[in-house]
Structure 1
């Protein structure tokens, strides 16, 4: 069972998922705090390179199965043209302005 993007609890996370699924790089970038960081499977990665490779140049798509921590922790089926589909976890840190300061992802 999936959760409709419009029903996700946290506004920043909801906008993140919507931007990924719409392949809207501009909207995605606007969601991020200026000094945002991210990690994949526990390793910090270069944010711009990672989002280009794993989301935008490879048609990334998220189908959220579960949310917790007020909507800032997700379990999602994530797929892209590079890796196919896998079950992933996503944890978000949202700053005081409602922008994503950090996200961490990896296999669930």
Structure 2
């Protein structure tokens, strides 16, 4: 069952996940620590570059299917204009109320 992002348990993850759906780049970057890092399918990526390409440059949208690990793990149906729709997993590390690490990949 799909869960709205505004009901996610962790406020930092909730802010991160809601921003693409609202096409709100400012809010998404505000949800991150200044030195936040990420990996995509196990490969290190430049987080800001990846977000600009995979999310904002291609109209990304996340429908959360489930959450785990106190809200730090998500399974979502993610879609954008480049890849269309796919099942994805998202693991977040949160420090000081902001996302410091993101790991994503196909579910």
Please report the TM-score for the alignment, with normalisation by the length of structure 2: 0.98
Structure 2 counterparts to residues 61-80 of structure 1, below 5 A: 61-80=61-80
Give 2:106's aligned residue.
107
Structure 1 portions without partners, runs of 5+:
none
Give 1:17's aligned residue.
17
SS in 2 for 1:64: strand
**2:49 paired with 1:49:** yes
Distance 1:12 1:20 in 2: 14
Give 1:38's aligned residue.
38
Aligned length: 107
CA RMSD of aligned residues (A): 0.6
Structure 2 portions without partners, runs of 5+:
none
Deviation by residue 1:8-58 (Cα, 9 ceiling, x = unmatched):
111111111111111100011111001000100001101121001100010
Distance 1:46 1:34 in 2: 12
SS in 2 for 1:19: helix
SS in 2 for 1:23: coil
Distance 1:48 1:64 in 2: 22
Distance 2:5 2:100 in 1: 20
Please report the TM-score for the alignment, with normalisation by the length of structure 1: 0.97
Distance 1:25 1:60 in 2: 11
Runs (4+) off by over 3 Å: none
Q: Using the TM superposition, give the Cα deviation of residue 79 of structure 1 relative to its aligned residue in structure 2, in angstroms.
A: 0.2
